[in-house]
Structure 1
Amino acid sequence: MLPLHWFLILAHSAYAQLDGLTVLTQQGPVSGTFSSPTVRQFLGVPFATAGRWQAPRLPAVRKEVFKATAFGDSCVQELNAGNSEFLILAGGLGLNTTESENCLTVNIWSPSVQRKQKTAVLLWIYGGSAVFGTSNIPIYVGNNFVRDNDDITIVTFNYRLNIFGQPNAPQLVSNTTSQNFGLLDLDAAVAWVHDNIANFGGDPDRISLFGQSAGAVSADQYTFAHPQDTKVKGIILQSGTATLLSTGNASLTLDPTPWNTVAQAVGCGTVNNAAQLQCMQAVPFRTLENAVISTNAVFNRVVDNINVFVDTNARAAAGNFLKVPVLTGTTANEIDIFLLAQELLTSGVSTPTISEMLSDVTTLLLFTCSTSLSALNRVANSVPTWRYQYQGVFPDISTRPELRAYHASEIPLVYGTYNTSTIPATPAEIALSKFMQGAWVAFARNPKQGLLSLGWPMYNPNTTSLAQLGNPANATGVTLTKGSLVDSACARPDVLANIEAQLTSLLVN
């Protein structure tokens, strides 16, 4: 039974109830706004609370209506020179948002109550190498997605990053509790959305995850950490998978070096005892943030066999993961933006010929071939799988000649937010965006069969089933090709790695 004060609050919000702008959650009512005449918007709604380096828990029940009219604080960022340059090249977006450790909030765009309710739900996970990123970026606004498509609700959220999201602290090592707090935040967001989205017009039985880069890796890691999950019904992986072409040096041995580097920089010493942890807990977040940047400490997610596994590739081959349908893909020239950012920071100029060759080889090694392996493992385990390669190059997104279909360049088309640029979108770009949005929505509505209605067949590497999006042969839709052709060089990763090393040497020298 609902508490009496909630009934009173709702009774005094009769008009808001009629237009669907006051919605009840398990923590109390929230009130939103219209972001456009047919789309309701709820911003900055707390889905969890957590102390520093603690697992998330549900927020307290509120006695008042929560005004969901502005984005919440972003989680603490690691905006070193390289990450900042990436953001500039990716559209000059910047991350000029308020940061704090009280950042675990969701944002919801849902159809007005006059439109179809009980919609499919897409839950977005932003990228940023798990060290920077926020839901408060113009290209992640879900209004256009919902405005232009029926039967869809878009949800975005914030999760903890860098030393706050995966501290690699020896004191926090446990066989039962993970210190991958950013991934625990994802778990909490999925649970909150599942438990509350019905009141916003979403269908809790049709939730799919979609993410890009580190966000895609997170979505894939969710399937390995929760092989029996019943909340998530599909995943869309944009330029990232948990499966790697090579397992590298992953092990269960935690490297305390970045933790101790930062601890020493802020005066907490390098002795991994309780006093050091207590000292680190007390350091102001801005001081920790600045120390991470100034020391160039790298905080990767912890391989703990709880939600990041040392044997992910073996688990993938054996089918030890959540077997929900997947739409997975990459951009054709992922590495362009990283190489350009590096060159601009080091010399101020680019070397296009060598950079393009190096980008092509590294894109194969880090993205194309890993996505191929991931897709093959799912196909082998009878998981409905669709695969794409994004090839679009448009002047409002690829704003420099060195940038082709680079990492993250497809996001404005997926969201339909290319209009955030001052350069007009081309007719082909607008049409391709409409097709891609429709495809993502079709998958969300029916992950097992939705894409078939668009003439997009399930993936088989030996049939024309890999969808090239933005290919010049059909710049506004799909051109089908064989995955085996796109992946032909993946059979010799050793050769690719050797070529990569030689090209890197040429570029540096």
Structure 2
Amino acid sequence: MYSSTLALAILSSLFATTTATGLTVTTAQGAVAGSLVLPRVRQWLGIPFATAGRWEAPTTPPVRTSTLTTTAYGKSCYQLTTLTTDYYLQFAHQDEALTEGEDCLTLNIWAPSISRPQNTAVLIWIYGGGFQFGATDLKVYDGRNFVRDSDDLIVVTFNYRLNLFGQPNAPQLVSPTASQNFGLLDQKAAIDWVKNNIAAFGGDPNRITIWGQSAGGTSADIWAQAYPTDTTVKGTISSLGDLGSPTLDSAPWATVATAVGCGNTADAAQLTCMKSKTAASLIQAAKDADIIFFKLVTDDIIIHSDWANRMTTGNFLKVPTVVGTVQHEGDALIVGGELAARGNAPPFITTARADILSQLGGTCGASGASADRLNNGVTTWRYQYQAVFPGITTRQDLRAFHGSDIPIIFGTFASVQTSPAPTVPELSLSLYVKNAWSKFARNPATGLTTVGWPTYNPSSDTLVQLGNVQNPDGVTLGSPSLLDATCSHTAELFSVLTQLNTIASAIP
């Protein structure tokens, strides 16, 4: 009896301590117990925000009767990569081993310790990966340093379904009332969960900003056109968001279905058969068939067939927006492709192709996205990240490449680079950018003005250049119109790129 009483007293004391330090928090699904990951930062990892069967819309998780320990990341959603993207992940310091599963709809929260100001702004991160790969349990996406260095800020990251599981392009799932863009539905479920629960963690549900890179930037743009009357998101940061042409492409689905023995007839029996196969076997079949993409689907529910016109005419969510790119977006993709195909990356022609790809796929898209906002009266900022640091850029043919900005913005560069040690400009630029992002999240309408960013105007020097050689640890202003000068010649640039690709393929 004495032993039991003592044990209960100890447990009660521990619970009281974690509650007093704000580490145990009550959500709509039950209590979650986190950790004090730094003296000034609380952390919760792997909180379920939704549950979903295969190729089904997410639903609210069940209510728990016991406290959930959230000190480890949840499973990553299943990944679809190629040799080219494997090289990219290596360059971008994102090639860590992942534990994958279909029960992957979890999120992570970093919040100030309760001794710091509460009721903070909330910055929600959406990872990239072309909607084919990506996960939150990577060192580059750890939010602890962001919150450590930023008062009035909570950082949230979440997983969403990808590739065959995120947007299967299955003819059987085409419906006028239900979307098969399951990954995008997951994103909405995560953002809704944050809206409904973040106050318990010390966050302000009325100050939520979403921020994404690559496919995550596209996701931020999709949110704007999918939910034009939304009242949850108060600002967006979109780094290289480009929706492309998301038409239904059922060929990859048919290829996988045939490969795993489910036949080539798109009927209910085929869908039932596909649901019975293991996730790993479906991914392996896609890889064996050299399938690169399962595209997003135009469903006129989340992605509308007139999405471009909606952006031009102002039928989108008009909240303050930051539009950004990296100066040499194409470097890692072209170099990775060359290494995958031939084992080397010839000088000059590799750089020339990467420069054109950066212009077509990065700069010109940002130009159009910025113009759509500006023309519809949206407060807009535009930046280009230009910094090159030896610990992040590990090859001489890589400059400021796609994703090289992430370790700087998150402040995780020291954990992903083994040598050389971080430089003073690297440290300073990271602090500067984290401060800018946090100020935008605190007040999207004016936050960046307080750090000296001019609002976007293509006819004046309002392009914010981060890490420019003239000011490697801060900002230099440049001309957007000069940067965009070739964007009226995209057809010609694409033709040149095609010719250069032909020449490159002929090099032994």
TM range (shorter): over 0.9
What amino acid does structure 1 have at the position aligned with 2:274?
Answer: M
Quick one: distance in 1 between partners of 2:412 and 2:106? 22
- Alignment match, 1:489: 486
- The counterpart of 1:264, out of the listed 258, 271, 292, is 258
The yes-or-no answer on 1:411 pairing with 2:409 is no
Quick one: distance in 1 between partners of 2:284 and 2:167? 16
What amino acid does structure 1 have at the position aligned with 2:112?
Answer: P
User: For 1:1-150, what aligned pairs fall within 5 Å after superposition?
Assistant: 13-91=15-93, 93-150=94-151
Alpha-carbon distance, 1:255 to partner: 2.5
- Alignment match, 2:201: 200
| CA offset digits 1:188-217 (Å, max 9, x no partner) | 001000000000011100000001100110
Any conservation in 2 of the 1:105–1:157 contact (CA below 8 Å)?
yes
Query: Secondary structure of 2:37's match?
Result: strand
- Alignment match, 1:289: 283
| Compared CA separation, residues 12 and 391, structure 1 to 2 (3 A) | closer
User: For 1:371-382, what aligned pairs fall within 5 Å after superposition?
Assistant: 371-382=366-377
Quick one: distance in 1 between partners of 2:242 and 2:126? 13
User: For 1:383-394, what aligned pairs fall within 5 Å after superposition?
Assistant: 383-394=378-389
Any conservation in 2 of the 1:105–1:158 contact (CA below 8 Å)?
yes
Query: Secondary structure of 2:462's match?
Result: strand
Quick one: distance in 2 between partners of 1:378 and 1:97? 38
What amino acid does structure 1 have at the position aligned with 2:241?
Answer: G
Quick one: distance in 2 between partners of 1:58 and 1:437? 32
| CA offset digits 1:101-148 (Å, max 9, x no partner) | 000000000000000101111101001110111000001000000001
What amino acid does structure 2 have at the position aligned with 1:468?
Answer: Q
What amino acid does structure 1 have at the position aligned with 2:220?
Answer: A
User: For 1:303-314, what aligned pairs fall within 5 Å after superposition?
Assistant: 303-314=298-309
What amino acid does structure 1 have at the position aligned with 2:404?
Answer: S
Quick one: distance in 2 between partners of 1:255 and 1:81? 23
Any conservation in 1 of the 2:240–2:365 contact (CA below 8 Å)?
no
Quick one: distance in 1 between partners of 2:235 and 2:186? 19
Alpha-carbon distance, 1:10 to partner: 9.2
What amino acid does structure 1 have at the position aligned with 2:387?
Answer: G
| CA offset digits 1:321-369 (Å, max 9, x no partner) | 0001111110010010011111111111111211111111111111110
Quick one: distance in 2 between partners of 1:476 and 1:11? 47
Quick one: distance in 2 between partners of 1:451 and 1:255? 41
| CA offset digits 1:394-442 (Å, max 9, x no partner) | 1011110000000000000100000011121111111111111111111
Any conservation in 1 of the 2:84–2:339 contact (CA below 8 Å)?
no
Quick one: distance in 2 between partners of 1:70 and 1:502? 49
Any conservation in 2 of the 1:73–1:98 contact (CA below 8 Å)?
yes
Runs of 4+ in 1 over 4 A off after TM superposition: 9-12
Q: What is the aligned-residue RMSD (CA, Å)?
A: 1.3
The yes-or-no answer on 1:472 pairing with 2:474 is no
Quick one: distance in 1 between partners of 2:276 and 2:39? 47
User: For 1:452-467, what aligned pairs fall within 5 Å after superposition?
Assistant: 452-467=449-464
Using structure 2 for the length normalisation, give the TM-score. 0.95
Alpha-carbon distance, 1:12 to partner: 7.7
Any conservation in 1 of the 2:249–2:295 contact (CA below 8 Å)?
no
User: For 1:355-374, what aligned pairs fall within 5 Å after superposition?
Assistant: 355-374=350-369
Any conservation in 1 of the 2:44–2:70 contact (CA below 8 Å)?
yes
Quick one: distance in 2 between partners of 1:255 and 1:409? 31
Aligned length: 493
Using structure 1 for the length normalisation, give the TM-score. 0.95
Quick one: distance in 2 between partners of 1:51 and 1:345? 35
Quick one: distance in 2 between partners of 1:275 and 1:402? 50
What amino acid does structure 1 have at the position aligned with 2:34?
Answer: G
Alpha-carbon distance, 1:90 to partner: 1.7
Alpha-carbon distance, 1:291 to partner: 0.8
Alpha-carbon distance, 1:79 to partner: 2.7
Quick one: distance in 2 between partners of 1:386 and 1:11? 50
Query: Secondary structure of 1:96's match?
Result: coil
Any conservation in 1 of the 2:228–2:315 contact (CA below 8 Å)?
yes
Alpha-carbon distance, 1:241 to partner: 3.5
Quick one: distance in 2 between partners of 1:355 and 1:14? 60
Identity of matched residues, %: 48
Any conservation in 2 of the 1:265–1:291 contact (CA below 8 Å)?
yes
- The counterpart of 1:447, out of the listed 444, 449, 463, is 444
Quick one: distance in 2 between partners of 1:507 and 1:305? 40
Quick one: distance in 2 between partners of 1:462 and 1:293? 47
Query: Secondary structure of 1:472's match?
Result: coil
Quick one: distance in 2 between partners of 1:184 and 1:141? 24
Alpha-carbon distance, 1:11 to partner: 9.6
| CA offset digits 1:157-212 (Å, max 9, x no partner) | 00000000000000000011100000000000010000000000111000000011
User: For 1:131-170, what aligned pairs fall within 5 Å after superposition?
Assistant: 131-170=132-171
Gaps of 5+ in 1: 1-8
- The counterpart of 2:418, out of the listed 409, 415, 422, is 422
Quick one: distance in 2 between partners of 1:268 and 1:167? 15
What amino acid does structure 1 have at the position aligned with 2:486?
Answer: A
Quick one: distance in 1 between partners of 2:117 and 2:424? 29
Alpha-carbon distance, 1:225 to partner: 0.6
- Alignment match, 1:508: 505
Quick one: distance in 1 between partners of 2:343 and 2:169? 34
- Alignment match, 1:240: 241
Gaps of 5+ in 2: 1-10
Quick one: distance in 1 between partners of 2:402 and 2:212? 13
**Greater CA drift, 429-438 or 38-47:** 429-438
Quick one: distance in 2 between partners of 1:46 and 1:418? 28
- Alignment match, 2:429: 432
Any conservation in 2 of the 1:10–1:17 contact (CA below 8 Å)?
no
Alpha-carbon distance, 1:463 to partner: 1.1
The yes-or-no answer on 1:278 pairing with 2:272 is yes
Quick one: distance in 1 between partners of 2:185 and 2:152? 29
